[in-house]
A = this chain, B = another copy of it.
Amino acid sequence: MRIILVGFGVVGQSLARILLQRRPELVRSYGFNPKVVAVVDKGGAAVNMRGLDLEEILSLKVKEGTVAASRDGRPDLSALEVIESVEAEVMVEVTPTNIKDGEPGLSHIKSAFRTGKSVVTTNKGPLALALPALTELAEYSGVQLRFSGTVGAGTPILDLAKKCLLGDRIISIRGVLNGTTNYILTEMEEKHISFHQALKDAQRLGYAEANPSMDVDGLDTACKIVIMANWIMGRKVTLKDVKIEGIRNVTREDLEEASRRGRTIRLLGFIDKDLKVAPTEISKGDPLAVKGVLNAVTFTSEFTGEETIIGRGAGGMATASAVLRDLINIKEALSSTL
């Protein structure tokens, strides 16, 4: 399988490392033989139709700051030019999330579809803004669109629902989908500190961004709710359909008061009749009352009742392993249509 990799930050580099390390086993176990024919970063591209030397590309990225410094380097080529001109079965889109207009990811994905390439992405922006349209476009173009890494990083939250609950009917979903806010709420509760103090600590530790709005205002959780509602429940919704409230107004006193009653507060995303993100009081015994940077999602099904999956919701290697899972699934889907 020929792969174009667009974006070469933490996730992109982790994927390259996993592919290097696991290749013999991937061929043996899944008949999956990945060949990265192009990598694009901000400095340009590297292209080699016989497959790039990933070891060289990884070390150049560290030493020179861009893959364009490779002997296969093409500093002149943009991501769109590479996607349009290089032949490949799959484009992996791992540029940063932008929920204003979804760019540049949105254009990358559309361009891949137009040129007959399946897409694996970890970029929540295009999906949160346009998943119903992108799903239709992929179908129309006869290609696949996968995005396991967008929810729960390596924790297979989307796959659990889609592949493992066959025959049962998922009625509702609720979950802790953002590690940063969960870390802040846990710290506020356990150390009896204010939101602002906990946020500052999280920023110092690298758990929160300098501009923490995506996390603490509930936008990241809302993006994930949109993705799950589309993929798992078949709803055709986008970010504007979600009622969103973040955690800025949760006080130390709120948490202390809840704690006295054996309860705690978590930022939950809900998919029920409506889509909602809000700080919510739950029992400390609820499987969703996870601590620190964990994610946790509870599915309520007609016959099996409630099922919860818990795992780390972040991490380069974890997210890259979700991309790998998607690539294997696309490989299987493509071979079954031959």
Contacts and interface: CB of A to CB of B under 8 A. Distances in A.
A312 interface: yes
Interface in A310-338: 310-312, 315, 317-318, 320-322, 324-325, 327-329, 336
Given A308-B311, A309-B309, A321 B168 contact: yes
Contacts of A311: 304-308
Interface stretch (A52-60, A111-119, A154-162): A154-162
Interface in A226-278: none
Contacts of A308: 308-311
Given A154-B303, A287-B287, A321-B303, A328 B167 contact: yes
A42 to B, nearest CB: 26
A77 interface: no
A91 to B, nearest CB: 18
Copies in the complex: 2
A159 B226 CA distance: 25
Contact of A160 (B26, B164, B305, B320): B164
Contact of A165 (B18, B30, B156): B156
A290 interface: yes
A164 B168 contact: no
Contacts of A167: 22, 26, 30, 321, 324-325, 327-328
Contacts of A294: 287
Contacts of A321: 167-168, 301, 303-304
Q: How large is the interface on A (under 10, 10 to 19, 20 to 34, 35 or more residues)?
A: 35 or more
Interface in A134-157: 153-156
Contact of A307 (B30, B156, B317, B325): B156
Contacts of A304: 153-155, 311-312, 315, 317-318, 321-322
A170 to B, nearest CB: 12
A310 B325 contact: no
Contacts of A22: 167
Contact of A306 (B159, B285, B312): B312
Contacts of A336: 336
Contacts of A26: 167
A155 B317 contact: no
Contact of A303 (B163, B166, B318, B329): B318
A291 interface: yes
Chain B CB count within 10 A is highest, among A18, A160, A168, A312, for: A168
Contacts of A325: 164-168
A321 B307 CA distance: 13
Nearest to A158: B164
A329 to B, nearest CB: 7
12 contacts: A30-B166, A160-B164, A164-B164, A165-B325, A166-B329, A167-B325, A168-B325, A307-B309, A307-B311, A308-B311, A309-B309, A310-B310
Interface of A: 18, 22, 26, 30, 153-156, 159-160, 163-168, 285, 287, 290-291, 294, 301, 303-312, 315, 317-318, 320-322, 324-325, 327-329, 336
3 closest pairs, A vs B, by CB?
A154-B304, A156-B164, A303-B321
